[in-house]
């Protein structure tokens, strides 16, 4: 019986972590209309936006998807964009990620950056994006990112291709309870004489 209990515990060590793996989510904004405000259209993927609007740029570039990108505010694209991570099943529940990547485009002036904050509004990190670049992929890998703020100096930068680690689905409490009861039953059972 102890052998079965050990095997069940060993199996759970290999099976349960596989369910906790993160999956990359990619948002390219191409499904939205030009000048459309971006708010909760991607809540089902685990992200909501504040002060973002779609801008349609002509021509393809190596890093961005065509035709849509986003900028902050309307009509001049001079506001910061806040991207908040939420539970994909219930956008009123806060969530976190450990990886965010976004493409900054049209960087002809200094002052563009990305800042990451945790659930307590504490700054986790900041990346200043160099200027005089047509495009720049900015990845940020930090534990517990709840939201990021995209700063565009003088409305000069637009953004595209948001990529982030989506949180894994939370297992139902009943699943853990059943596993625990099963292991307890195995531990307590005795072979009959």
Q: What is the pLDDT along the chain (193 residues), one digit of tens a residue?
A: 555 445 444 444 444 444 445 688 888 888 888 888 899 999 999 999 998 888 776 554 544 555 677 878 766 677 888 999 999 999 999 999 999 998 877 655 667 788 999 999 999 999 887 765 556 788 899 999 999 998 877 666 678 888 998 765 555 555 665 666 676 676 666 665 5
Which DSSP string corresponds to 17-62?
HHHT--EEEEE--TTSPTTPEESSTTGGGTEEEESEEEEE-SS--S
**Do the Cβ atoms of 130 and 104 come closer than 8 Å?**
no
Please tell me the predicted confidence (pLDDT) of residue 82: 92
Kindly give, in sequence order, each residue whose CB lies less than 8 Å from that of residue 11, ignoring residues fewer than 6 positions away.
Answer: none
For residue 101, give the 3-state DSSP assignment: strand
Domain 24-167 has CATH 2.60.120.200: yes
Within 10 A of 72 (CB to CB), how many other CB atoms are there?
24
**CA 108 – CA 82 distance, rounded (Å):** 22
For residue 13, give the 3-state DSSP assignment: helix
User: Exposed (0-12), middle (13-18) or buried (19+): which is 23, by Cβ within 10 Å?
Assistant: exposed
**Do the Cβ atoms of 159 and 23 come closer than 8 Å?**
no
For residue 187, give the 3-state DSSP assignment: helix
Question: What are the two backbone dihedrals, phi and then psi, of residue 173, each rounded to the nearest 5 degrees?
Answer: -55, -30
- Two tokens, residue 151: 């700063």
**CA 45 – CA 23 distance, rounded (Å):** 11
Cis peptide preceding 75, ω within 30 of 0: yes
Q: Where are the domains of the chain?
A: 24-167
For residue 169, give the 3-state DSSP assignment: coil
**Do the Cβ atoms of 81 and 150 come closer than 8 Å?**
yes
For residue 50, give the 3-state DSSP assignment: strand
């Amino acid at each position: 019986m102890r052998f079965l209990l050990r095997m069940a515990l060993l199996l759970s060590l290999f099976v349960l972590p596989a369910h906790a793996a993160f999956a990359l989510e990619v948002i390219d904004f191409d499904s939205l209309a030009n000048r459309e405000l971006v708010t909760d259209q991607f809540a089902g993927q685990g992200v909501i936006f504040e002060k973002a609007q779609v801008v349609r740029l002509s021509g393809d570039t190596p890093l961005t998807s065509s035709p849509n990108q986003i900028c902050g505010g309307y009509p001049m694209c001079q506001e910061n964009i806040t991207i908040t991570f939420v539970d994909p099943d219930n956008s009123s529940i806060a969530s976190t990620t450990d990886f965010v990547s976004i493409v900054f485009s049209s960087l002809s002036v200094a002052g563009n950056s990305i800042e990451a904050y945790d659930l307590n509004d504490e700054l986790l990190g900041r990346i200043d994006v160099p200027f005089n670049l047509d495009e720049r992929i900015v990845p940020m890998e930090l534990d517990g990112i709840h939201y990021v703020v995209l700063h565009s100096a003088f409305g000069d930068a637009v953004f595209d291709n948001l990529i982030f680690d989506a949180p894994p689905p939370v297992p139902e409490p009943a699943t853990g309870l059943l596993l625990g009861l099963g292991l307890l039953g195995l531990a307590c059972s005795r072979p009959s004489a």
